[in-house]
Amino acid sequence: MSMQSAHRVMYTSVSSKRTPQTSIKPGTYRRIASFATRHKKKLIVFLTLSVGTAVIGVLNPVLAGDVVNAITSGGPVETVIWLAVAIGGLAIADAAISIFNRYLSSQIGEGLIFDLRTAVYDHVQKMPIAFFNRTRTGALVSRLNTDVIGAQRAFSNTLSGIVSNFVSLVLTVGVMVTISWQVTVMSILLLPLFIIPTKLLSGKLASLQFQAADNSASMSTRMTERFSAGGATLVKLFGNPKTENEEFSDRAAQVRDIGVKVAMLQSTFVSSLTLVSALALALVYGIGGAQAVVGNLNAGQVVTLALLLTRLYTPLTMLANARLDIMSAVVSFQRVFEVLDLVPLIKEPKAPKSLPSGGLDVTFSNVDFAYPSAEQVSLASLEDVSVLDTRGGDEVLHALNFTIPAGHTVALVGSSGAGKSTIASLLPRLYDVTSGSITIGGVDVRELSAQTLRSTVGVVTQDGHVFHESIRANLSLAKPGATDAETV
């Protein structure tokens, strides 16, 4: 059996439609934390400054209330001026902290993107050829782009928001209680209206995020395949432009529709919480104003309560929405971890051996070989199927024995599908034998390092491939430091 024929067998799918996964796997949060600890120092400074921003946000309403009291009581003027200077100073400090925090968040976020991308790229490089034969290229690229960036937002945006909003919430409630516990209690009674929508909508949004990621990957795959030289040639020769456009339009429409659903879900959620906040503000003006009229509060305290209320419900709104953002980010992290969890079938030996000097014999001893099943090398989400095909490939080589002495040239002759390409692919370990052994100079190829095999075994592939790089870069792929003379 030729490699091309085997590939056609390996592409057999259980289903063309995949049900998106919506549950978060155990251990995902711990693994996210392991990536975060690489930026531990910056995260500590980042979160500390976020707390400072929250404190400034609560001080401003208190100072504003003091200004109102100073004005209504007739001065002195110096008090009003110094309070105004304090408010201005806090504004400058807040701006400076915000700018520096943005710098830190970008450092952490971009650093996380770098960590995830390099980890995935390095891991994918270790995967066997069977993985690349099955995987949709667009889906794999989507993990390195869309999902990695989605994961990064958890640290560059969501994390600081959670910390600063939580601190702001605690401080706000504390200050409001000291001014009027009655108004504070009435405001807190509205909390269920914030919590209930969060519970109802977070699961729905997580499901939509999974679907959005899958559909985006599917659309990227189609573009990647159709825009490659080989794919474009097939479409030009045999394809129907109308059908191609319709199929791409269907996939793009699914991405669009889910995007609209997510946007509307988030908008409805935030709008409902904003409405509750506005109603609570009316409550403060009503109850606080009545208490001010009877002399239990002064005008400055009413103003402070009203301003603090925005500091109460805004953090609540953001914290409630943060749960949705976290779910989206965790989905992205989990999709990246799925790729990292794939175990490469071709493994480097722990203690690689060296080849003897001089001529080297090549020996195939009782070699059996069957192409690996889908579940051994792939993911359902990377193939756009519901369940991976669990069937193993049929044995294409059985009890194969031959030796090629050093210095000899041997030709394998046979009909298409006889196994010539398969035999050639086993020597450089593009695949590993199912049983038996292949030796070079008496050393099993599984005991040699990949570098030793690459420097010893030369392969001319059936299909030429040129990277979209310079001619020199293509010629020096096997030896990046090659001189100009060596590449000529």
487, containing H or E segment: helix 484-487
pLDDT in tens, 27-40: 777 888 888 888 88
Q: What percent of the chain has pLDDT over 90?
A: 10
DSSP-derived secondary structure letter, 445: G
- Tell me how far apart the alpha carbons of residues 133 and 39 are, in angstroms, rounded to a whole number: 36
pLDDT value at residue 9: 36
Residue 441: closest CA among 366, 374, 362, 376: 362
Low-confidence ranges of the chain (pLDDT < 50): 1-20
pLDDT value at residue 2: 38
Please provide the DSSP assignment of 243-254 as one string. HHHHHHHHHHHH
pLDDT value at residue 112: 82
Q: How many residues are present in the chain?
A: 488
Rounded to two decimals, the pTM is 0.65
The rounded radius of gyration (Å) of the Cα atoms in the chain is 32
pLDDT value at residue 445: 93
pLDDT in tens, 396-448: 899 999 999 998 999 989 888 788 888 988 999 988 999 999 999 999 999 99
- Residue 441: how many CB atoms within 10 A of its CB? 18
pLDDT value at residue 203: 67
Residue 198: closest CA among 323, 20, 316: 323
Distance, CA of 77 to chain centre: 56
CA distances from 78 to 75, 85, 389 (A): 8, 10, 80
